Chains A and B, each alone.
Chain A
Amino acid sequence: MTPEEFAKVFDRLRREIQKVIVGHQELLDQVLVALLAGGHVLLEGVPGLGKTLLVKTLAQALDLRYGRIQFTPDLMPADIIGTNVVMQDATGRRYFQFERGPVFTQILLADEINRATPKTQSALLEAMQEHTVTAAGAAFTLEEPFFVMATQNPIEMEGTYPLPEAQLDRFLFKLKVEFPQVPELMEIIDRTTRPDMPQATVVASRDEVLQMMRLAREVEVATHVRAFVARVVEATHPRPGASTMARRYVRYGCSPRGAQAMILSAKVRALMAGRANVSFGDLKALAAPSLRHRLVMNFEGEAEGIDSDAIVANVLEETPELEGAKR
């Protein structure tokens, strides 16, 4: 696959999903970037903004298997990964057989993930990072591509279990789903209240998706571009050399996964533009979704309600593209 073919498939995919999903163009692009970068996405937004529909439509357009788990406080890990059940064969002999859970899919919607207990949430850790599931001493490999899209509601915090940092760090992006504008809202009303609901058709096969994912890893990154990413991540840590806001409001900065997320997603974005190299523009465009959920605020930051996006923006502003250059 060439970068031009990549861009073509990507564009086709985007247009197909937009037949169903109204607006959210940037969000849609970022979801596709995360998918092709081999990452997972945490969507944050109030209910009813089309998060589930987006995932479903994505699965339809890619001809991938789709699964959904509605996270509730009483959800158990076995409800996610599966469990051994006693089976009886024709001779009457009983045996244990692993019954696969909903995680054994290709596109998984973990709806309202923060409503489950940390124990249940952590059941997803291995699947997200290793793309494998271990149950009763046996390891099962998940079929590629494996893409988790978790949602959480930012306003109903009662009875929720905020995701631990370790789990948050495993999401490539944290995306904010904004409320649609009036014209988009009118379009949503129009599309969803007609007898014939628009449906997405398959525009890319699983193999094509895998090829695109492999191609994305081939994109070249220059040394000074990598150095910029490293300096950006370094500047999120509250120590000498950090950005002004990071020093004041951040308790823990981004992990190295933040840098990986920036580079991987930037590679996909470069291919989207038909380029075979990563630019500073790619990195800056995807810095906020890559880093915002990896920052842990200190007391002052929490008290003042500092948005992590503001800190990322401040870091980008204060980090020169070329080392030693002045802004």
Chain B
Amino acid sequence: MTIEPGRELLRLVRQAAVRLTASRAVETGAGAGALAMGAFVVLNIAGVAIPVSGVPLMHAIAAAAAAVVLAGVLAALLRPVPRTDSARVLDATLRLEERVSTAIEVLTSSGPRSSLSSRVVVDAERRLSAVGVAAATPLRIPRTVWWTAALTALLFVMTSWLHGITIPGTPAHRTAEVIRKEGQRLEQFARTLQSRTRTDHMPATRHLAPQIRDLGSRLQRERLARAEALARVEELSQQLAQTRREIDERLQAPRPAPSRERVTSDQLRRESTQRQIRQLRELLSRLQQDSPSASRDALDQLHQMTAGQEGTQPARVREQLQRAREQLGRGNMVGARDAISDAMLDLQRLESLMADSEGIQNAQQEVERSQAAIAGGGPVEGQPQAETDQTSQSPVAPGEQRPSPSEGEGTEPPQGPNEGSTPGTGRRDEKIGARTPRLDTTKTPQRVRGAQAEGPVASSEIVGTGRSSSSRVQAADISPAVIARADQAMTRSRTPARYRGIVRRYFQRLAKLR
């Protein structure tokens, strides 16, 4: 069998073309990988000045690997090395003095051939076969691979040790500060929430408060990027929403969208429940005396309770109270006490759920506020600095809304006769001025001593509208420590929960007025 001249040459050149295409694909892929890794490094470096999320190392490696594969495959498919080019490469690398390229041209051209054409082909074939294609087109590791490795190492160093470091004065630093302060605020809030769960029975809130505290602590400690921080806050926010949905379902009350009216209604409902619990407790202590007058009073009181609370009392409680009334009517004091105890327990469970709902609602509001602050804490176009500073406000106690700063915040408070309430402004001489009128009264003792005895208990709630006026003192932020102290004092003091609610509502109203 004779082999057609040039057949082997064409095969060898084709083989070289494939190797060169592969080599080019590897080179292109490596270049794309280096480029991608370089971009990630630049992105991470930029993160010290502008609030962009750095790419985690594993994600960067995965993306670079994808770029390598994609670019390599595309290069191989779209830019294969032609035979003529590979022949020229073989000539150049093997120093074949243009034998192969001339022979390939002779073989592939359709024009007339000279008497030396076949000789050119044979000569090229012989020389190329002797040398081998692999020697001319070795598959080397491209130099860019080392660049990629170096960039990966740099990225590793940056993500491991320099993660979250920002240059002071840059937008990234400001964002980091916002995140840190929000973390601080959330942690403070969580502490307050935890202290509240110790006094009130709020099992779900008690369970969630440590998580809020943990998030706050992480936001302060872990130097998170904005996106990471938002993701974590969002996660907690969803958890809170889920818990609240569950509580709402248990309360068996389909809740409308949050609104001021609904908040008020919830509060009224809870206060009413608390009042009923107190009344039932008093009723129980009275029934302990087992006297006819106590029985009569109890019957009256039970009648009032069932008659006046149709809208707020659960059906089960109403039934138990009705049963208590019947037992009292029959003179069965023990049965009546049992029925009242059951009703009280039900009401206590209901109150606990309501407290949980309120606590979680407050937590949700705080978390959402942090989320908004972190999201807008970067260099948003046209965002005033005051808005950014808002994020650094101290946390509020659960159930309380702190007054927010108004537009004039930062300016000096107005001068006036309110010395003592505007510390740090004005000179001493100016502040002294004319003496303000004082009340000429004697001090009253703080405690009234007396003997404890039985007596009628009456409680009523007075709801009225106050005169609207504006304070001459600008609302200002107070430190979280002061809030915490105030909250602790409120918790420690034996102030009835009802009055605490009034105080809280007063401050909530103030906050809304800002």
Residues of A within 8 A of B (CB): 2-3, 215, 218-225, 273, 275-281, 321-322
The answer to whether residues A275 and B99 also contact, given A224-B88, A322-B88 and a CB cut-off of 8 A, is yes
Which of B102, B115, B119 has the largest count of A CB atoms less than 10 A from its CB? B102
- Ordered by A's residue number, 20 sampled pairs between the chains whose C-beta atoms are within 8 Å are A219-B114, A219-B116, A220-B106, A220-B116, A220-B117, A222-B98, A222-B101, A222-B105, A223-B105, A224-B101, A225-B98, A225-B102, A275-B97, A276-B117, A277-B98, A277-B99, A277-B102, A277-B116, A279-B99, A280-B98
By a CB distance below 8 angstroms, the chain B residues around A223 are 105
Query: Nearest residue in A to B122 (C-beta to C-beta)?
Result: A276
> Is B8 located at the chain interface by the 8 A CB criterion?
no
Complex Cα gap A219–B113 (Å)? 10
Chain B nearest Cβ from A310, distance in angstroms: 26
A-B contact count (CB 8 A): 55
Query: Nearest residue in B to A275 (C-beta to C-beta)?
Result: B97
Query: Nearest residue in A to B114 (C-beta to C-beta)?
Result: A218
Q: Total interface residues on B, using CB and 8 Å?
A: 18
The answer to whether residues A278 and B98 also contact, given A218-B114, A220-B106, A223-B105 and a CB cut-off of 8 A, is yes
By a CB distance below 8 angstroms, the chain B residues around A220 are 102, 105-106, 114, 116-117, 120
Main secondary structure of the interface of B (DSSP, over half): helix
Complex Cα gap A2–B99 (Å)? 17
By a CB distance below 8 angstroms, the chain A residues around B120 are 220, 276-277
Query: Nearest residue in A to B101 (C-beta to C-beta)?
Result: A222
> Is B271 located at the chain interface by the 8 A CB criterion?
no
By a CB distance below 8 angstroms, the chain A residues around B123 are 275-277
Q: Are A218 and B115 in contact (CB under 8 A)?
A: yes
By a CB distance below 8 angstroms, the chain A residues around B117 are 220, 276
By a CB distance below 8 angstroms, the chain B residues around A215 are 115-116
Which of B92, B115, B116 has the largest count of A CB atoms less than 10 A from its CB? B116
Complex Cα gap A277–B116 (Å)? 8
By a CB distance below 8 angstroms, the chain B residues around A322 are 88
By a CB distance below 8 angstroms, the chain A residues around B103 are 277
Q: Are B116 and A276 in contact (CB under 8 A)?
A: yes
Query: Nearest residue in A to B116 (C-beta to C-beta)?
Result: A276
What 0/1 pattern do residues 89 to 125 of B give for CB contact below 8 A with A? 0001000011101110110000000111101100100
Complex Cα gap A221–B84 (Å)? 14
By a CB distance below 8 angstroms, the chain A residues around B101 are 222, 224
Complex Cα gap A29–B30 (Å)? 50
Q: Are A279 and B116 in contact (CB under 8 A)?
A: no
Q: Are B105 and A276 in contact (CB under 8 A)?
A: no
Chain A nearest Cβ from B260, distance in angstroms: 74
By a CB distance below 8 angstroms, the chain A residues around B106 are 220
Q: Are A281 and B116 in contact (CB under 8 A)?
A: no
By a CB distance below 8 angstroms, the chain B residues around A225 are 98, 102
By a CB distance below 8 angstroms, the chain A residues around B98 are 222, 225, 277-280
Chain A nearest Cβ from B358, distance in angstroms: 75
A-B contacts besides A220-B120, A277-B102, A279-B97, 9 pairs, CB < 8 Å: A2-B119, A215-B115, A218-B114, A219-B114, A222-B102, A225-B102, A275-B97, A277-B103, A322-B88
Complex Cα gap A276–B102 (Å)? 9
Of all A-B residue pairs in the complex, the 5 with the closest CB atoms, nearest first, are: A279-B97, A277-B102, A276-B116, A222-B102, A218-B114
By a CB distance below 8 angstroms, the chain A residues around B97 are 273, 275, 277, 279-281
Complex Cα gap A322–B105 (Å)? 15
By a CB distance below 8 angstroms, the chain A residues around B115 are 215, 218
Chain A nearest Cβ from B97, distance in angstroms: 4
By a CB distance below 8 angstroms, the chain B residues around A277 are 97-99, 102-103, 116, 120, 123
Complex Cα gap A276–B124 (Å)? 10
Complex Cα gap A8–B62 (Å)? 65
Q: Are B102 and A221 in contact (CB under 8 A)?
A: yes
Chain B nearest Cβ from A162, distance in angstroms: 38
Which of A220, A224, A281 has the largest count of B CB atoms less than 10 A from its CB? A220
